[in-house]
Amino acid sequence: MTSAALLSVQAVSLAFGGVRALSSVDMDVDSGTICGLVGPNGAGKTSLFNCICGYYTPTSGRIKLSGRDITNTPPYRLAGHGVARTFQHPVLQPAKTVLDNVLVGGHSTFNTGLLSSTFRLPRARREERALEDRGRELLGYLGIGDLAALKASELSYGGQKRVELARALMSRPSLLLLDELASGLTHEEVMELGEDVQRVRTDFDVGIVLVEHHMGMVSAITDKVVVLVQGAKVVEGPAAEVQGHPVVIEAYLGTAA
Ligand SMILES: Nc1ncnc2c1ncn2[C@@H]1O[C@H](COP(=O)(O)OP(=O)(O)O)[C@@H](O)[C@H]1O
Ligand SMILES: [Mg+2]
């Protein structure tokens, strides 16, 4: 018997009133692999992320993490189960420092109770320091260690995207969902970020789902691609195969060209 996939999306459907955002979508992602999730705007990519992360409740279907059913698990508990994400539009606290924004991602791993942290007992101080060290390390790893003390509002868009990635890694995820990480970046920045995502996959031993419109990046770094059109999966396979599929050319690449 083969072991369960890291992420298994099974016949997930989602409706908003009359709008069918997802229609019986299946998707498996293994640990240590990168799965591209592509499709035109409105195809349901972010909605699928929101279902996996517990922001939306699927109308039907199941979502499993390493065989364990996580359907309907609220977002704040999913971090503890190893699910982390970045947002399509960076969600940073502009007045806080880059480091503080990253540390927000570590709170699910923070063990000290409210009382001891209130009184700053030694254990709380130790944990705080360890979190801070990890935050600085991650910023260095992503090449923005020198930005730690800046306010988030002072960052370029590319910088904000890297901070989102660092924050997601703080919780030591096993599954990382990256929603249009490269949108709004220059071609050069995109390819650099693509290399970083590949390093993250290997160095942190995570499974990654990457929502991305930049087909160069998708081809360069994904192990397979799932194509959604109007909420339904139309094709799945290696990027090179998927790109040549008539439905994809018509529905996605055709409009992008
Ligand atoms: N919170 C919501 N309420 C109503 N409709 C929504 C909501 N979120 C997404 N939708 C609809 O679901 C469909 C899929 O949207 P989305 O998942 O954002 O697509 P994508 O990320 O692929 O661009 C769209 O028709 C969108 O308008
Ligand atoms: Mg989206």
Write the pLDDT tens digit of every residue in 68-88: 999 999 988 888 899 999 998
pLDDT at 107 over 80: no
For atom 11 of ligand 1, the residue with the nearest CA is 21
By most ligand atoms within 8 Å of CB, the mutation choice from 13, 14, 16, 27 for ligand 1 is 16
If pLDDT is split at 50, 70 and 90, which confidence band does 2 have? low
Q: Name the residue of 12, 14, 19, 229 whose CB sits within 8 Å of the most ligand 1 atoms, as the mutation to test its pocket.
A: 19
Q: What is the average per-residue pLDDT within 35-39?
A: 95
Count CA atoms closer than 13 A to 155's CA, side-chain side: 28
Q: Is 161 in the pocket of ligand 1 (CB under 6 A)?
A: no
Residues with CB under 5 A from ligand 2 (ion): 45-46, 88
Nearest CA to ligand 1 atom 12: 21
Measured by CA distance, the residue closest to atom 7 of ligand 1 is: 16
Q: Can you give the residue ranges of every domain in the chain?
A: 7-90+162-256
**Does residue 30 carry a pLDDT above 50?**
yes
Evaluate whether 244 touches 223 at the Cβ level (below 8 Å). Answer: no
The C-alpha atoms of residue 22 and residue 91 are separated, in whole angstroms, by 24
Note if the pTM is more than 0.85: yes
Tell me how far the alpha carbon of residue 40 lies from the centroid of ligand 2, in angstroms: 9
CATH entry, 7-90+162-256, from 3.30.70.20, 3.40.50.300, 3.60.15.10, 3.40.350.10:
3.40.50.300
Closest CA to 49 of 1, 79, 84: 84
Q: How far apart are CA 257 and CA 252, in angstroms?
A: 9
